[in-house]
Chain A
Amino acid sequence: MPYVQLVYASKAQPEITDAEVLEILKISQSKNLTRRISGVLLYVNSTFVQLLEGPEGAVTEVFATIAADPRHRDVTLLEQRKTDEVSMPTWAMGYFSPSMTEQQRADNPTLLKLEDVRLICEALPARLGAPFLELL
């Protein structure tokens, strides 16, 4: 089984602004694709839930970086498994904030609509999708 799938949850530091979160996510998207890591990230009410999937070494390394990042707190590993096939064709994110404008969403094609995130999470293997659906 050449791949690993990992789901974690964490809380964002309270002082982080929406703009900062979006910038962090934009940078991580580019880094993840370079390492051939796909997945989906959900950010609702200062809570992150993220699926990371790809080559084991790369995924473990990214998760270790996130766990050590002071902008995340209460990082909890919810699910980890080895697999022959990953579930996502890219690295996408669902980001929902009361202050987010339609323009911000239009400017960032990686941002998904709520209904699309729900459909994607329902299509994931049950144990991977459950933490996302719980948050939604």
Chain B
Amino acid sequence: MSPVSLRLFGVDAEAPSRILLGSMFSPTCEVEVFASAEECLKRMQECLPDLLLLDTVLPGMDGFTFCAQLKADPRTARIPVIFISREDSLESRLLGYESGGEDFIFKPYAIDEVKFRVRRVMEAVQGAESIRQQMADGEELSSLLLTNMDEYAVLIQFMRQLNECVTAEAIGETVLTMLRGFRLDGAVQLRLGKEELTLSAQGRDRPLECSVLSHVRKLDRIFQFRQRSVYNFPYITILVNDMPVADPETCGRLRDHLAIAAEMADAKVQALVLQQRTQRAEGGITGLLEELQQIVLVSMTAQETSRQRGAEALRETLDQLSVSFAHLGLSEELEGEIEDMMRLRLEHLISIYDHGDDTMATLQEIGSRLQSILH
């Protein structure tokens, strides 16, 4: 999608806001602004936007109701909605999330921030489209498989699949499959150190969903809020949007199952985090050993070079000595004394090289041991 072709609708009751929205996006997008949801709906009969920026407080229909209405209509359901609101509270975020919005911006906003969020939501929507297609393909098969499963079978199937997971994405998908097995809709957030992954049937890392899960994770371990229930563990949070509250018995049973499932998934994520840490540590040790092996090889080469140069220097010294004797005309007795002295010195030097041989043998042994550890 080219940014030039993006059609953006803005709905805001405040005239300065509408003018600003037009001003900030008109250079790159086709922008239309409206003072009410009704005006915007009328225009949507003729043409649909690629993205909607929506104030929450409007004359007539409010922004949340308007968004829910759009999301319930197959013709408009996939239009991403970013709310713009003056009220920064968990309740307004939840209302936005419940009505199907993609993101939330609070006034006063920075113009750069609004532009960034619009870009990010468009990217997320494109990613979600691909996930939706994959899920649609698997939906028919999974519904057939799950039709005759009772709740325990869903839980057992979840445990089996969880056991096979080797990535955070796989754990998240397994949790979502379990929720579908229980005929529930929801989202899951996995926390792997500094990284977070938020998944739902609607896509991955949707900004408003991330924001809601980041808020609810601070609540109690198990938390019920109207139709929603939350299961909080250190490495995972599961949010269920549609608990069957009209049926307290089923609701209680599902809550128990979900608490068990969340605890197991949490342990699995924790194991994954530990495994990743161990792998990183192993990688560090291997690197260190490889460096050490390199150092040993360099030392051995240096030692050998040094030995060869020393032997050459000895030979040259003896040769020069013989030549010097011929010119000096020394007595045989004196030449004998000098030769004895030189012999003693040479024997001493040879003993140093013998010690060098020991060092070389030690280096060779270390090198062999490193080789066997590394390969």
Which chain A residues have a beta carbon within 8 Å of chain B's beta carbons? 29-30, 32-33, 36-38, 40, 54, 86-92, 106, 109-110, 112-113, 116, 119-120, 123-124
Contacts and interface: CB of A to CB of B under 8 A. Distances in A.
A93 to B, nearest CB: 11
B375 to A, nearest CB: 56
Among B22, B108, B109, B111, chain A packs the most CB atoms within 10 A around the CB of B108
A89 B14 contact: yes
B23 interface: yes
SS of B interface (majority): helix
A50 to B, nearest CB: 15
Contact of B24 (A36, A88, A109): A109
B112 A89 contact: no
A107 to B, nearest CB: 12
Contacts of B23: 112-113, 116
What bracket does the count of chain B residues touching chain A fall in? 10 to 19
Given A87-B14, A89-B84, A109-B24, A120 B19 contact: yes
A90 B19 contact: no
Interface string B1-41: 00000000000101111011011100100000000000000
B20 A92 contact: yes
Interface in B17-70: 17, 19-20, 22-24, 27
Interface in B105-120: 107-112, 115
Interface of B: 12, 14-17, 19-20, 22-24, 27, 84, 107-112, 115
A87 B16 contact: yes
10 contacts: A38-B108, A87-B14, A89-B16, A89-B20, A89-B107, A89-B109, A90-B110, A112-B20, A112-B23, A120-B15
A33 B19 CA distance: 19
A27 to B, nearest CB: 13
A33 B15 contact: no
Contacts of A92: 20, 111
Contacts of B84: 89
Contacts of A38: 107-108
A87 B20 CA distance: 12
Nearest to A30: B110
Contacts of B108: 32-33, 36-38, 54, 86, 88-91
A87 B12 CA distance: 12
Given A38-B108, A90-B111, A92-B111, 20 more contacts: A32-B108, A33-B108, A33-B110, A86-B108, A88-B16, A89-B16, A89-B17, A89-B20, A89-B107, A90-B20, A92-B20, A106-B27, A109-B111, A109-B112, A110-B111, A112-B23, A116-B20, A119-B19, A120-B15, A123-B19
B15 A90 contact: no
Contacts of A120: 15-16, 19-20
B256 to A, nearest CB: 44
Nearest to B22: A116
Contacts of A90: 20, 107-111
